[in-house]
């Protein structure tokens, strides 16, 4: 790693500018003049093209801060670098070659890894030595590449096509949970999109993995997107300090966004609530950068978190913060819709749609090839309970409101 912290930022394979540590612990990003002259895309919504530098007085700029790894991956990366304490900038420089979206950050003098500090019996950690990838999320994960129909760990000179998630200690059935919840989510919202995932065996690994096809990789090329934490210019640590309305307001007030995206976003939140996903924070929603404007990515990270005791909703609804999912009433769902600017008719239409697809969601869980009958029954009963307590009487509440 370079003595002075700085790195080259690329948009796809095009050099976009420099990320530098400045005196006084500030960090700046400055677009390259040639990148500006050729009118390339801005690398982030909060970093529009301009000649002047963007400067953060408190660590990385939020766009870059949200590219840094979290949880298991972050700790493994620190061990690989042989240091207990590292700045987020150092981690991004060391592992920013394969990030979410189309932006990468490369260290001009990459530091060699300390393989002796890894668990040589853990193939997940060994796989880290061959790649320089960075993704958020606390779960153990590695990057994969598909070649000739087979998946294998991606090397540092390869662009990953899939993400493999592994079991997490303290969260039993987490892989099956995400798989089943995602299948039920797709059944509830058949006209919407969700990531393509499967539970498979990977050669060289002693345990199965939840393998997710990256929606930001198409035909060997990067596709740019940003999480709402980035779009709203917030550091990674602030992903819970917000309300659902913040995302809807962003869509309303951003040129090029479609009002229909607000309706889709509302549907995703209601489906998540119905499935017990209390961990829907700002990093779990994202938008593609399209020539015509920002558009929602497929849904991802759908997990029934309430099963693990996470009973409080991640984001605020109306004036209600730290709201327990067991306390959600029809009025909360209606309030959320009104905050999104939706008519009572639109709210009713969406709830009716969920009602029509409720049986299909249960069947998607019950007929899935993974998961024990006991765990499937637990998910279905939780969904039925949430429907009866929160959604079943919404039509009546809307009639009174009218």
Smallest CA-to-CA distance from 82 within 283, 90, 203 is with 90
pLDDT for position 2: 45
Enter the pTM of the model: 0.94
Mean pLDDT score of the chain: 92
Neighbour count for residue 298 (Cβ, 10 Å): 15
Specify the domain boundaries for CATH 1.10.1070.20 within the chain. 223-401
What tens digit of pLDDT does each residue of 199-208 get? 999 988 888 9
Token pair for 140: 């153990």
What tens digit of pLDDT does each residue of 264-319 get? 999 999 999 999 999 999 999 999 999 999 999 999 999 999 999 999 999 999 88
What tens digit of pLDDT does each residue of 223-275 get? 999 999 999 999 999 999 999 999 999 999 999 999 999 999 999 999 999 99
In order, the DSSP letters of 2-38 are: -SS-EEEEEETTEEEEEEEEEGGGEEEEEE-HHHHHT
Distance CA(121)–CA(168), nearest Å, equals 17
Distance CA(98)–CA(130), nearest Å, equals 12
Radius of gyration of the chain (CA): 22
Please tell me the CATH code under which domain 223-401 is placed. 1.10.1070.20
pLDDT for position 278: 97
Token pair for 324: 């327990």
Exposure of 363 by Cβ count < 10 A (0-12 exposed, 13-18 middle, 19+ buried)? Answer: middle
Q: Which residues does residue 163 pair with via DSSP β-bridges, in sequence order? A: 143, 212
């Amino acid at each position: 790693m370079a003595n002075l912290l700085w790195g080259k930022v690329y948009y796809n394979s095009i050099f976009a500018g420099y990320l530098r540590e400045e005196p006084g612990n500030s960090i700046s990003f400055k677009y390259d003049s040639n990148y500006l002259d050729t009118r390339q895309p801005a690398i982030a919504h909060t970093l529009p093209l301009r000649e002047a530098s963007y400067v953060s007085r408190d660590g990385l700029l939020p766009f870059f801060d949200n590219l840094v790894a979290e949880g298991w991956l972050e700790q493994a990366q620190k061990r690989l670098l042989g240091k207990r304490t590292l700045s987020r900038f150092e981690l991004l420089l060391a592992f920013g070659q394969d990030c979410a979206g189309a932006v990468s950050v490369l260290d001009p003098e990459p530091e060699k890894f300390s393989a002796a500090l890894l668990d040589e019996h853990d193939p997940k950690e060994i796989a880290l030595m061959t790649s320089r990838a960075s993704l958020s999320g606390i779960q153990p994960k590695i990057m994969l590449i598909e070649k000739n129909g087979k998946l294998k760990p991606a090397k540092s000179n390869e662009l990953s096509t899939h993400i493999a998630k592994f079991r997490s200690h303290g969260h039993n059935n987490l892989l099956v949970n995400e798989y089943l919840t995602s299948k039920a989510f797709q059944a509830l919202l058949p006209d919407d999109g969700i990531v393509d995932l499967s539970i498979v065996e990977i050669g060289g690994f002693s345990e199965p993995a939840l393998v997710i096809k990256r929606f930001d990789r198409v035909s060997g090329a990067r596709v740019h997107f940003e999480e709402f934490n980035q779009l709203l210019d917030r550091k990674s640590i602030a992903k819970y300090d917000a309300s659902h309305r913040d995302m809807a307001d962003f869509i309303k007030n951003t040129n090029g966004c479609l009002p229909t995206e607000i309706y889709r976003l509302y549907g995703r939140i209601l489906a998540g609530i119905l499935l017990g996903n209390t961990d829907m924070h700002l990093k779990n929603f994202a938008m593609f950068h399209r020539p015509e404007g920002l558009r929602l990515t497929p849904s991802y990270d759908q997990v029934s978190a309430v099963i693990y005791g996470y009973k409080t909703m991640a984001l605020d609804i109306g004036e209600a913060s730290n709201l327990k999912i067991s306390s959600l009433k029809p009025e909360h769902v209606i309030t959320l819709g009104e905050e999104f600017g939706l008519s009572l008719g639109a709210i009713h239409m969406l709830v009716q749609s969920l009602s029509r697809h409720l049986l299909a969601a249960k069947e998607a869980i019950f007929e899935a090839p993974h998961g024990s009958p006991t765990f499937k029954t637990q998910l279905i009963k939780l969904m039925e309970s949430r429907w009866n307590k929160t959604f079943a009487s919404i039509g009546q509440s809307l009639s009174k409101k009218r």
